[in-house]
Amino acid sequence: MIAIIDYGMGNLRSVQKGFERMGREAVVTRDPRAILDAGKVVLPGVGAFPDCMRNLEEYGLIDAVQKSIASGKPFLGICLGLQLLFTESEEFGLSKGLDIIKGRVIRFKGAEFKDLKIPHMGWNSASIRRRPPAMADVPDNNYFYFVHSFHVVPEEKGVIATTTNYGIDFVSSVWKDNIFAVQFHPEKSQALGLSILKRFGEMKA
């Protein structure tokens, strides 16, 4: 069973449908026990970082996320679900994250972006630096769908799985132990995105 964490924000149904298309049962839940009992866990997310952290806390889900990751079961973060894993974000002032991966979440800013639209929205390629198991079927420099104004900056460069160029080369996914987390939306990225969900669904703890 794959548990998709429902904390009141995110494209939960589209992620669930993506897994179902790949023949994997997935349940949308905010029950901490169901999350802890699941074989795999997905943290999706769309919205503002501080609002999402507040909802995770209000629904009593932070402990379930931390224990799920510590257990070694496969864990997938999507979009804001990637950013929440980091130490802190500068969105709407400084907000504390889950601090599971050391680093910051910062806004796209600077001279490199003067002719670019923010948020970064649409299709862009991902250059593979380290190939996580969930990207086994993904050729290098293939395209995925992005919608975001902030990007992650990990302290430990060894966790970087892919980078993407938009004004700068930014980190578009990370892979650390049982955690694989992406800035793009695999559920909106057609066949290649669904292949990531398929491979994730096949992973074992």
- Tell me the three-class secondary structure of 40-105, residue by residue: EEEECCCCCHHHHHHHHHHCCCHHHHHHHHHHCCCEEEECHHHHCCEEEECCCCCEECCCCEEEEE
Q: What is the number of residues in the chain?
A: 205
How many domains does the chain divide into? 1
202 has catalytic annotation:
no
Domain of 40, CATH number, reads 3.40.50.880
Phi-psi region of 10 (alpha: psi -120 to 50; beta: other; left: phi over 0): left
Give the domain range for residue 110.
Answer: 2-202
Per-residue pLDDT tens for 106-163?
999 999 999 999 999 999 999 999 999 999 999 999 999 999 999 999 999 999 999 9
79 has catalytic annotation:
yes
The pTM score is 0.96
Check 79, 91, 120, 148 and give the catalytic one.
Answer: 79
Per-residue pLDDT tens for 7-51?
988 779 999 999 999 999 999 999 999 999 999 999 998 889 999
Check 120, 148, 151, 185 and give the catalytic one.
Answer: 185
185 has catalytic annotation:
yes
